[in-house]
Structure 1
């Protein structure tokens, strides 16, 4: 349908339908319908085309109706006059409907533009140092025709150490943007007040559950940095990667439900060697596919991209690899967050419990 519209095919279709009905009305013996049936053309145009094109179709049908009336010697008869009035009124209504539809589309486009601007403002790319941790981020929006998506990230410096929040809201559109803003606001409110990382996830879960629909949720991974290690809580989100001499997925010790679904995640520790980096991402990266449906080869491509010494250059190289793999613009948001210790990380006020150490936590 989009191809037809771009080439003016819908206008040709409406004109052709009207012409075909007029031909049938003048050439087929015993054709039972009158000229009012030509209203089908303007109705089709009013649903799919602009007001100007609908007016063209409406005028065309009036000319066809007049020609049909002349050929069938119906001009001046009460029945023909009534049907002509119906055709005229229907054409006017079709033009009005097309104009209203265009206004609604324009309003929706303005709202979507504002939503995209709001999302970009919330997720501005940044490179900052927080408590001895360099955090570099990228947010790549999908193609222009796609709707607003719900990827999110935030980083704050709390009394318990630098804390990072990377998530993905289920769904698209304005509701997803509203939930994104609510999740980021809740994280900033609770990250400073909640000592335990698992308790922070539980508090976020309770805060968001009140606003989410029955089928809505937010996948998330929370990270808290301390000297020589990072503490992680994963709520149904793609696992982060530890990148050093090897690239390793940091799977949680046990799966946990996303936020908004009464999750009870288990925290785990991962030790960090000097020079190692952590990559957090959303499923727009891990689920990117080429034309044959082949997934993006995550681990080898991340290792190749992160050979770049600069965090910023590494993320740009990784995204370029994704686009090269898919061969087309992505249809889903991609959030990339790369973290690296820049020096001695400040010791937090409290330490999380020692239980729940990940099998991958060793050096």
Structure 2
């Protein structure tokens, strides 16, 4: 019963203690309490039970502090043996040996988990630095297109998020990619890097935007696991219009005189699942803003399970004077809607033509199946 009480006390108090400060005190407290029970109790449990102190310490402390607790337990055992007059008996010697071996094992385990924690911390730092190098917030103007993009990771302390974006200035115009990779682990980081790398390599070499999606799919498929894929939208800006290819991704929003989704004619599967997307062309007029986003925005739910009212709210958010302020406003709206921290990653890319030129009548066709919508 006494040991059960000690266990309950440990679980309650360790949750309130600060690691590295309260831990040694608590472990030593357990050892002292067990020593008192050993000396005063009518049914003495024996000094071997003091091994509980080092065992508890190794679960929370490093090897040095665990060794200090083990040494204290050995000293308390000797004191208890002397007080009970059994220090020279064979039984005490056996129990003291058990305590000694148990303390040594506890120190070894503490050293192991400390090393594992340090290795994990180093790996996390490397992953975070890698993602920061791959996916940085951007605010640029390329060939008359102002682009502001950023992402927020839903998992606190997560080193890798699943969303991606990039923008490049090619001979075919400014091209933008936004996508979503499944998961938050290092495989997601690898897939993110591969997707952005394929986009950067192929966007300069592939005239047709639909052909670019097909080429990226061919590049990525051998590197993906059987259950992996990447939803993506590819956009290309031309005078007076934007050309869009959608591979299983939420449709962008155009906000201007009206707010509407720029949806594909036919749905296409994500990259990695061999899509054959069709290209769509949409007019751009002065004052239009295009919002590209991941499903963490459109599927953000409130307490009743209702999705974020994207079309109803995005016009107000994008009315902000600067794209950066517009994205901040949109993130704040989502937080207000959900009433809690987001449960999914959210990446946003806001594009605004700084000057709109009427499309040339003899412009190069982007794809034979392309259509133009108002």
- State the TM-score, normalized to the length of structure 1: 0.83
Question: 2-side partners of 1:71 and 1:340: how far apart?
Answer: 83
- Name which of 255, 270, 273 aligns with 2:267: 255
Q: Aligned pair in 2 of structure 1 residues 294, 79: CA closer, same or farther (>3 Å)?
A: farther
1:169-248 → structure 2 map (5 Å cutoff): 169-248=181-260
In structure 1, what is the equivalent of residue 324 of structure 2? 312
Greater mean deviation of Cα atoms: 150-159 or 33-42: 33-42
SS of the aligned residue for 1:127 comes to: strand
The one-character-per-residue Cα deviations of 1:197-230 (angstroms, maximum 9, x if unpaired) are: 2221122112112222222222211112222222
Q: Which structure 1 segments of 5+ residues have no match?
A: none
1:72-87 → structure 2 map (5 Å cutoff): 73-87=85-99
In structure 1, what is the equivalent of residue 6 of structure 2? none
The one-character-per-residue Cα deviations of 1:294-318 (angstroms, maximum 9, x if unpaired) are: 5433222211111113222212222
Question: 2-side partners of 1:64 and 1:291: how far apart?
Answer: 55
1:223–1:230 contact (8 Å) kept in structure 2:
yes
SS of the aligned residue for 2:373 comes to: coil
In structure 1, what is the equivalent of residue 66 of structure 2? 54
Question: 2-side partners of 1:228 and 1:118: how far apart?
Answer: 37
Q: Which structure 2 segments of 5+ residues have no match?
A: 1-10
Structure ranking higher on relative contact order (CA contacts 8 Å, 6+ apart): 1
In structure 2, what is the equivalent of residue 126 of structure 1? 138
In structure 2, what is the equivalent of residue 351 of structure 1? 365
In structure 2, what is the equivalent of residue 362 of structure 1? 373
In structure 2, what is the equivalent of residue 154 of structure 1? 166
Say whether residues 1:94 and 2:106 are aligned partners: yes
Q: Aligned pair in 2 of structure 1 residues 327, 89: CA closer, same or farther (>3 Å)?
A: same
Greater mean deviation of Cα atoms: 178-187 or 58-67: 58-67
Task: Give the total of aligned pairs.
Answer: 359
Q: Aligned pair in 2 of structure 1 residues 7, 265: CA closer, same or farther (>3 Å)?
A: farther
Q: Aligned pair in 2 of structure 1 residues 257, 18: CA closer, same or farther (>3 Å)?
A: farther
Say whether residues 1:278 and 2:268 are aligned partners: no
The one-character-per-residue Cα deviations of 1:86-125 (angstroms, maximum 9, x if unpaired) are: 3223213322322332233233223322322332232222
Deviation at 1:72, TM superposition (A): 5.5
Question: 1-side partners of 2:68 and 2:302: how far apart?
Answer: 44
Q: Aligned pair in 2 of structure 1 residues 312, 55: CA closer, same or farther (>3 Å)?
A: same
SS of the aligned residue for 1:48 comes to: coil
Deviation at 1:188, TM superposition (A): 0.8
Greater mean deviation of Cα atoms: 78-87 or 10-19: 10-19
Deviation at 1:337, TM superposition (A): 0.7
1:12-27 → structure 2 map (5 Å cutoff): 14=27
1:14–1:44 contact (8 Å) kept in structure 2:
yes
Greater mean deviation of Cα atoms: 74-83 or 324-333: 324-333
Q: Aligned pair in 2 of structure 1 residues 270, 171: CA closer, same or farther (>3 Å)?
A: same
Question: 2-side partners of 1:242 and 1:295: how far apart?
Answer: 19
Greater mean deviation of Cα atoms: 231-240 or 46-55: 46-55
SS of the aligned residue for 1:180 comes to: helix
1:58-73 → structure 2 map (5 Å cutoff): 58-66=70-78, 68-70=80-82, 73=85
Greater mean deviation of Cα atoms: 308-317 or 218-227: 308-317
Question: 2-side partners of 1:2 and 1:355: how far apart?
Answer: 67
Deviation at 1:18, TM superposition (A): 5.2
SS of the aligned residue for 1:36 comes to: helix
1:253–1:356 contact (8 Å) kept in structure 2:
no
